[in-house]
Amino acid sequence: MKLLLAFVLFISFQQTGAQQSRPPRNIFIITTDGFRWEELFKGADSLLISNPEFVRDTLLTKQMFWDETTELRRQKLMPFFWNVIARQGQLYGNRLFNNKANVKNFYKISYPGYNEILTGFADPVLIPNTPKENKNTNVLEYLNRQESFKGKVAAFSSWDILPFILNEQRSGFIVNSGYEMLEEENKLDALINTVQKNATEKNNTRNDMLTYLSAREYIEQHHPRALFLGLGETDEYAHHGRYDLYLQKAAAFDKMLAELWYYVQTDPFYKNNTTFIITTDHGRGKQGSAWRNHGFWIQGSGEVWMAMIGPDIVPSGEIKEQQQLWQKQIAATAALLVGEKFDSEHTTGTPIILPVVKKTSNSTLSASK
């Protein structure tokens, strides 16, 4: 029963002519760094949004993001999640229903988190948030070795450490991160490069809109079958103690997702054969100023969330049953969604999704245990 309540899907392993003729599946793994489950499922925090230490204009920020009920607040902040994914996909990690999603790694910071998401391995060895090549094989690298995916894998990230987490030199696919210049294939690429060159305040995290536009242009030009898109400004502004901007960047992330989903649903290459897995790399603190930070010493840092939407995802919406999911299950799940089994030199989390379904007596499909 617990498996049934996990990511139940219509997976196409049945021997029917319709399923045998289905188009190849594509997968996008999309993250926003350090975004708490509390805001996703409950909307703006009443104490933080009213605190002038964290919000410069509390009245205006409340006008933008506050409402009297949880349902209205979260919809105001993340309309794509609650108007589209909640109706057509699945949302996991609302701990008010004891529906839990957690990181398995001990450290609860970004490098171990992205490693766990992309390799399926909660590495016990600490790799701090520094440019060190990752020895662990990631699922994008694995897919790029498969004939049907070779040359059709890419990754774009606001954070400039991602090439090291993915071990770009070894992995052999396109990785663009931080303020790295694009190959100028058209006028928009050239414009993005111009903006990046002239940016006056640069740090380890590129402006998310630049990352999104870079990825979007690459998607339109090259149609990758597997893509990672990692945005980072939610975490940046949380660390700066700017709850107002943290909320604004969460809303911007939601809008980018909506635009990208609309694009894939109107592009013949992607329409009805592309799944989004959406998540975050770690949680954050809960009480007072602790929300600004995260790490193994801060309660709440290991609490995350997951969302999925796509042709094989049963539209179950917000999952309210008690269960426990782990970040390390995402990599194998992503592979399974495109019909592959993720194999690597290290142990990986098991897929969240059931690979076997059966016909019921009335010809509908259900998961089999």
Q: Where are the domains of the chain?
A: 2-367
Q: Side chain identity at 52, as an amino acid letter?
A: P
At 157 the pLDDT is: 98
What is the per-residue pLDDT across 245-266, written as a single tens digit (0 to 9) for each? 999 999 999 999 999 999 999 9
At 21 the pLDDT is: 61
For the CA atoms of 345, 350, 354, 356, the dihedral, rounded to the nearest 10 degrees, stands at: 40
More confident position, 1 or 132: 132
Q: Residue 357: pLDDT above 90?
A: no
Model pTM score: 0.92
Of 214, 246, 245, 244, residue with least CA distance to 230:
214
Cβ(36)–Cβ(283) below 8 Å:
yes
Q: Residue 58: pLDDT above 50?
A: yes
Going by C-beta distance under 8 Å and a sequence separation of 6 or more, which residues neighbour residue 304?
Answer: 37, 93, 101, 102, 103, 279, 280, 281, 282, 283, 327
CA atoms of 55 and 241, how far apart (whole Å): 9
Instruction: Write the CATH number of the domain with boundaries 2-367.
Output: 3.40.720.10
Return mean pLDDT, the chain.
91
State the DSSP H helix or E strand holding residue 358, giving kind and residue range, or none if neither.
strand 357-359
Look up residue 68 and give its two tokens: 């009297």
At 353 the pLDDT is: 66
